[in-house]
Amino acid sequence: MTDMLQKGQEWLASKLTQHASRQVVYRRGELGATLQATIGKSMYDQDDGEGIVTRSQVRDFLIDTQSLLQSIIGTLPRRGDTIVEIDGNHTFIFEVMALGGDPPWRYSDPFRLKLRIHTKQIESHPS
């Protein structure tokens, strides 16, 4: 029997990539793969241990799992990888990072079709 929820999620994931994504370059060391990514954000709280909680926001990139695995990168995201995004005449570089004690990425859906990769901006310059 066909899993209608999975089929629906696959359809939705393809539409997200097709209509709500932009081209980025995912880099690991000298390797780079051009992929489509949907831009998102995640909020997280960080406790300084003295009762002060800082709420922060990071930029997320939602990338098709298979696109990354089948690229020259070949594996799931790692802390320290970078994502290059060009917006108009400006280049932004983001580093893959963990949120608090959490991993630097998670699956964005129950069928593991898309990765939600957490990043912080480390550089920007005119293109």
pLDDT at residue 3 greater than cutoff 70: yes
d(CA 61, CA 56) in angstroms, rounded, equals 16
Half-sphere exposure of 6 (CA within 13 A, CB side): 6
d(CA 24, CA 81) in angstroms, rounded, equals 13
- The predicted-structure confidence for 61-107, as pLDDT tens digits, reads as follows 999 999 999 999 999 999 999 999 999 999 999 999 987 778 999 99
- Residue 15 makes CB contacts below 8 A (sequence gap 6+) with none
- Residue 74 makes CB contacts below 8 A (sequence gap 6+) with none
pLDDT at residue 1 greater than cutoff 70: no
CB 37 within 8 A of CB 22: yes
pTM over 0.75: yes
Residue type, 17: T
Tokens 């990072």 correspond to what residue?
Answer: 97
In this prediction, residue 49 has a pLDDT band, given cuts at 50, 70 and 90, of confident
- The predicted-structure confidence for 21-42, as pLDDT tens digits, reads as follows 999 999 999 999 999 999 999 8
- The predicted-structure confidence for 68-78, as pLDDT tens digits, reads as follows 999 999 999 99
Provide the 10 A C-beta neighbour count for residue 35. 19
CB 92 within 8 A of CB 121: yes
Tokens 């859906």 correspond to what residue?
Answer: 109
Torsion angle of the four alpha carbons 83, 89, 90, 91, in this order, in degrees rounded to the nearest 10: 30
Provide the 10 A C-beta neighbour count for residue 85. 20
